Structures are given as C-alpha cells and as structure tokens.
Amino acid sequence: MQTVRGLFSHRKHWAARFGTAPFLPMSRAEMEALGWDCCDIIVVSGDAYVDHPSFGMAIIGRLLEAQGFRVGIIAQPDWNSTADFERLGAPALCFGITAGNMDSMVNRYTAERRIRSDDAYTPGGAGGKRPDRSVVVYAQRVREAFKDTPIVIGGIEASLRRIAHFDYWSEKVRRSVLLDSRADLLVFGNAERAIVEIAHRLAKREPIESITDLRGTAFVRREPPPDCVEIDATSLEALPAPVPNALRERSVLRLPAYEAVRDDPVLYAHASRILHVESNPGNARALVQRHGELDVWLNPPPIPLASEEMDAVYELPYRRVPHPSYGAAKIPAYEMIRFSVAIQRGCFGGCTFCSITEHEGRIIQSRSEASVLREIETIRDSVPGFTGVISDLGGPTANMYRLACKSREIEAACRRPSCVYPGICSNLNTDHAPLVHLYQSARSLPGVKKVLIASGVRYDLAIQAPEYVKELVQHHVGGYLKIAPEAVSEEPLRHMMKPGIGSYDRFKALFDKYSREAGKEQYLIPYFIAAHPGTRDEDMLELALWLKRNGFRADQVQAFLPGPMATATAMYHSGKNPLRRVTRASETVHVPKGLRVRRLHKAFLRYHDANNWPLLRDALRSMGRADLIGNGKHQLVPSWQPAGTGGEHEGRRRPAQAFRTQHTGLPRTPAAKRNPVR
C-alpha cells in the first residue's frame, strides 16, 4: 500500500498560538474569551456538541485544533433561516458540514417510515431538532448566508450518498449528495487525512476547486483530465479490465450515469457491484459517474490510519462531556457511551445489510494497548459519575482488534467483499491473544471494578479462539451478551453473507461451558432481522420455530431498513444479487416488500405476542402449515385468542402469570423481559 504523509507531520497553522480551547466555541462570546476575531473552520452538525471521541464533530474539531486552526461548532441549528448559521460569522477557510453520527433519515424515521418521536443525539432526547437530509439543507443555508465560502461535506450521510443511491424513504434513486448540497468537496470514510490536507492547503490560499488529488474525496468535473485512462463500465457487458500497475494511479472506471441507474434497477445493481469491488485502498481505482452535464468524480478510498495516528487522535484533549450550554439536560447517546472506549475501526465482515465497510473500510485500524489503558485512566480520573465500570471496549465489532491479513501484498491485491464469508479466509490472522491481554490489563487497572463488552461479538471468529471466549464470558459479561445470528435459514444467511447457525451453536456451547465454570448464570440474547432480501415466509417460519424451540421471546424486533449504498439495498431495489456478476439473466433475489409482508415477518419474530396470532394463523393456513396452530408444545400459535387482543375474541383469557412466563427460557424477572432483540 502506498506511503502517505503522517497525520501530524504538517507545520502548525499560525493560530496555534491561541492554545487549546476548553470547549470548541459555540458562540461569539466564547470566541472573544479565547481572543479570536474569527474561526478558521466552522463545523455544522445535526448532533448536539459532546466533546467526546465517540462524536465525529469532536474528533474533527479537536484534530484541526491540534493542527493550529481555530474551530467553531454550530450544533443542531434552526434550518428555517440563516440566522443560526451566521452565529459565529464567516470562517476564514471553510465550513464543514455533517448530519452527525447517523444518517438523518435513519435517525428520524423507522423502518416503516414512521417519524420517530425522539433523537438520542439531542438534549433531553427531543425529536425534531434536525431536518430530513440534513447535509443538503444545512449546506443550502450556509450557501445562502456565505455565498463564496468553501463548503466541505462529510460524515456518514455524505459518505454513503456520494454517488447515485437508492433512497428508501422516497423509493427512488437520488443524485449524489454533492450535487444536491451544492458543496465544493465531499470527504468520505474516516476522513482525518483528507480534512487535515484540505485545511492546510486552503490556509496556503489554494483554491478549493483545485484540490482534486486527495484520496477519500469526491468533487465535480465537467471533463476528465487529459492524462487519465478511462475504463468503460457503463453497461452490463463492460467489465472493468485490469490495468498495469504503472497506469492504476491514472485510471478511472466510468460507472453507468445517474440517469441510467435511475431508470434501470439492473444497471443500478451493476454499479453497486463495481463500487464495492473497488473499495480496497490497496488496489481501488477512481470512479466517475455522469449526472447530466457534470461528472461526479470519486478518488480511491483513504489509506487507513496507523496505530500511532489512531492513538494521537483519540488522546486529543477532549473534555469528555457535553458542552456546558446544555446545562443539566441529558443526551441519551452520550449517556450510553461516556464510559466506553473505542479500540478499533473498520470491519471485514462484509454483511450486506450493513454500511460499516462502505464507510470505514474492511482493513482494521487498531489503537495500541497503552493508549487504550491511558484513556481508561482518564475516564476513571476525570469523567463525572464514574463508578468503576467501563461500559465497552470495542468498535464496529468487539473482536477484530489487531486482526489482519497475514500478507500485506495479498491484502493490497484482494477484492473479496468479506474475509469471513463463506468461510474464514486462510490468509486471515485470527489470533485473539492481543485482545485477551488488553482485556486482562484493563480489568487490572486500579479503580476499575468491571470492564464490560457491549459491541457485537463476531462469534464465527470467536470460536477460533476459545481462550478469548473464556476471558469474555468469565469477566466481561454483565448477565447478558447480545450477538447477531440475524437468521437461521440458508437463503437469507447467504444474501446477508452471515455464517450458518452452526457457528452460533458452537459459540453458545462455549458460552455456557465457561459460564458454568465461573459459577455464573448468564444468557445470550440473539438479534434477528425481518424482511431481509432473500427471505421468504417459510424462512421466517423456520426462525420462529427455532426461537420457540430455544425459548426466546423478542420484546422488540428489527425489520430490514435499506440504507444508502448497502449491497442488500441494491438487492432490495433491483431484485438482483450484486455479490456476483450482474446480468439480465443473473440470479433473481426474492425481496419481501410491502407493509403486509413486513408486518408478517416481524410477527414471526414475535410469535408469542397474542396480537400477532390472527395474522400468523392466516399465514400458516395459506402456507399449508395449519398443523402448527394449536395448544401443543410443538405448535407455534394457539387456536384460541385472549380477550382484548388481536382484534378477535376467541375463547377465554389465560391467567396472566402463566401466559407471561411460558417457554421464555430466561429468568422470570422484569429485567429479563426487557432485553430486546434488535
């Protein structure tokens, strides 16, 4: 992989003389107290400002501050006018705009497109503090207020909407967010390298329109540069051909145009496949997609941060609390993570419904053990309310820390979408020893009573390292551990790129064994997804029977939500499987669409809820499985209906206690019943 300039190798900007701000200013009064006449960069975000490294605006703001720039924050502005956007005045260099830690549409709407009443990233959890498509709205308001000031958009919303993308909420393919926002530059993925370079180059008075050579950026061109080697990938027959290494830096793949993928779902799936194949920073080529008269140009993904750079980013002088302007109001997302520590980035799992790989990449970036331990000590010594319990050591997954390809050369050439599907790659190092040592060191720190693991455990990896499972189960589980089989049938698992249920069974056997050895009563809480592409009614029935057989009752369930740029979203929209070459005649994917079928699939996950029984009885009869209706132990739903449930009144209501506790498989306590399945 190519060498890059170190993240902290730049000469600091002259404004470094102002020192470190206690909090990045959110008002003119705070700026004046710091001695600033203006900000160099202003970050606009859809989230409340929490000065903690789990919040993107804090990481970017503190990183730019460490480079010597004056950074201001405009958090959750009123978008109905430009007034809030003018609060700090015009920045000397640029505005940086993000929707926040979540895509604004995912944040504001459920999988059924119902608007949510709350927002975990807002003081008091109040809903309605950000607009739909926040990046577009914020950028438009900034452009109204400051016509000539450069605008750089980033964060997960911009990252996952960087090309033409299917938008579930409008049920259509939308243009690149770069065009709709009228921004000058888009940064995608973990964008520290690009943002630092952009800031220093703007400080040297380089026009933003000339910054076209940075990895992890997208911008608009009318014509390709004269020395580029363009490779046609605009049709189903045009497969991207390999080029000599000497030409790779100058080569670009031309995707089907926005208008083509908008009108042809099969071409959309084809474009999705190319984008995912060209995602390894070691061999990815630039991509270009025509939108009307303009080209949206995507440079290759950013080079991952080295451990030393990760350490430095996470050890910047965060205050680790919300901005004092929020007073005593609680911010739910902060309350969840204030005692947690991020130890890694990226994920090589490649689950098709998840966008982590598209955003953070599949090369794992890990911090050093010493840096993680220093952060735990900082939490212990400075974060209000710490009781000795670290709530999580993790990241996108709990147990990919320091896992990587055994060969840098093989890694740089690889185009596989997953290192663990359909099986664990023979070139993948699965040694969990560094993670076990980290856990042991963390729980041995003075003042630390318990270190819990809340990030999702990749159990097909964990069973390769029983010593890890033992350490996890005996010291880091607080009674319940959530893991994500997602399905039990072969077809949905294949379209999710998830391991078979046998891996779960092997993990559960180890979990139970080590729990017994420690004398602890502990339980696995599995997550499942309803209505995922590739899932038929019969698959959900099989899952419901598995849940009943194993004594699980899900309090809450998750229906598949087609997020922008995910592979499963391309399946949902096109009915094709972009995990293989896409043609008109290629594999057709069964896609459960429509309110009724999505309700039914969720009802199978909550087979025990009497309100779902009428729907399930109708479905079982139409599927020819009326034998599963009845009061027997191996039947799914009874033939009677408790009074006042399901809109029907068949028979008598059961005694409440017997109805509530039958076949739960968990302790009969309110806490056990509240544990949700996603």
Q: Is residue 22 part of a domain?
A: yes
Please, which pLDDT band fits residue 652 given cuts at 50, 70 and 90?
very low
Domain residues for the domain of 67 are: 14-217
C-beta atoms surrounding 195 within 10 Å: 25
Q: Is residue 177 part of a domain?
A: yes
**From 476-490, 580-594, 646-660, the region with the lowest mean pLDDT:** 646-660
Residue 334 has pLDDT above 90, yes or no: yes
Please, which pLDDT band fits residue 557 given cuts at 50, 70 and 90?
confident
If you ran DSSP here, which 8-state letter would residue 534 be given? T
Burial code of 533-571, b = ≥16 C-beta within 10 A, e = fewer? bbbbbebbbbbbbbbbeeebbbeebbbbbbbbbbbbbbb
Q: What is the pLDDT of residue 473?
A: 98
Q: What are the helix (H) ranges across 228-384?
A: 245-248, 258-263, 265-277, 307-314, 332-337, 356-360, 369-382
Residue 584 has pLDDT above 70, yes or no: yes
Segment 163-171 mean pLDDT: 97
Segment 32-54 mean pLDDT: 98
Say how far apart CA 297 and CA 289 lie, in whole Å: 7
Q: Is residue 54 part of a domain?
A: yes
Q: What is the pLDDT of residues 253-312, one digit of tens each?
A: 999 999 999 999 999 999 999 999 999 999 999 999 999 999 999 999 999 999 999 999
Q: What is the pLDDT of residue 417?
A: 94
CB 492 within 8 A of CB 532: yes
The strands making up 523-530's β-sheet, listed across from edge to edge, are: 480-486, 523-530, 558-559
Q: What is the pLDDT of residue 398?
A: 96
Residue 1 has pLDDT above 60, yes or no: no
Q: What is the pLDDT of residues 337-393, one digit of tens each?
A: 999 999 999 999 999 999 888 899 999 999 999 999 999 999 999 999 999 999 999
Say how far apart CA 620 and CA 614 lie, in whole Å: 10
Residue 662 has pLDDT above 60, yes or no: no
Which residues, including other chains, have CB under 8 Å from residue 244's CB and lie 6 or more apart? none
Segment 552-580 mean pLDDT: 94
Q: Is residue 113 part of a domain?
A: yes
Total domains, the chain: 1
Beta strand spans in 554-595 (E): 558-559
Stated as kind and residue range, the H or E segment containing 32 is: helix 28-33
The number of C-alpha atoms within 13 Å of 604 and in the hemisphere containing its C-beta is 28
Q: What is the pLDDT of residue 226?
A: 86
Q: What is the pLDDT of residue 472?
A: 98
Per-position DSSP letters for 437-449, written without gaps between them: HHHHHHHTSTT--
Segment 238-267 mean pLDDT: 86
Q: Is residue 343 part of a domain?
A: no
The CATH code of the domain that includes 112 is: 3.40.50.2300
If you ran DSSP here, which 8-state letter would residue 8 be given? T
Smallest CA-to-CA distance from 289 within 237, 243, 355, 221 is with 221
Segment 467-495 mean pLDDT: 96
Q: Is residue 82 part of a domain?
A: yes
Per-position DSSP letters for 182-242, written without gaps between them: T-SEEE-SS-HHHHHHHHHHHHTT--GGG----TTEEEEESS--TT-EEEE-SSTT-PPPP
Segment 187-192 mean pLDDT: 95
CB 546 within 8 A of CB 663: no
Q: What is the pLDDT of residues 72-84, one digit of tens each?
A: 999 999 999 999 9
- How far is residue 71 CA from its own chain's centroid? 26
Structure tokens at 666: 């968990």
Q: What is the pLDDT of residue 653?
A: 37
Please, which pLDDT band fits residue 3 given cuts at 50, 70 and 90?
low
Q: What is the pLDDT of residues 74-130, one digit of tens each?
A: 999 999 999 999 999 999 999 999 999 999 999 999 999 999 999 999 999 999 999
Say how far apart CA 529 and CA 519 lie, in whole Å: 32
Q: Is residue 620 part of a domain?
A: no
Q: Is 443 exposed, middle or buried (0-12, 13-18, 19+ CB in 10 A)?
A: middle
Residue 246 has pLDDT above 60, yes or no: yes
Q: What is the pLDDT of residue 555?
A: 78
Q: Is residue 144 part of a domain?
A: yes
Which percentage of the chain shows pLDDT scores above 90? 89
CB 504 within 8 A of CB 469: no
Model's pTM, two decimal places?
A: 0.92
What do you get for the CA distance between the two ends of the chain, in Å? 38
The number of C-alpha atoms within 13 Å of 116 and in the hemisphere containing its C-beta is 20
CB 154 within 8 A of CB 96: yes
Q: What is the pLDDT of residue 238?
A: 75
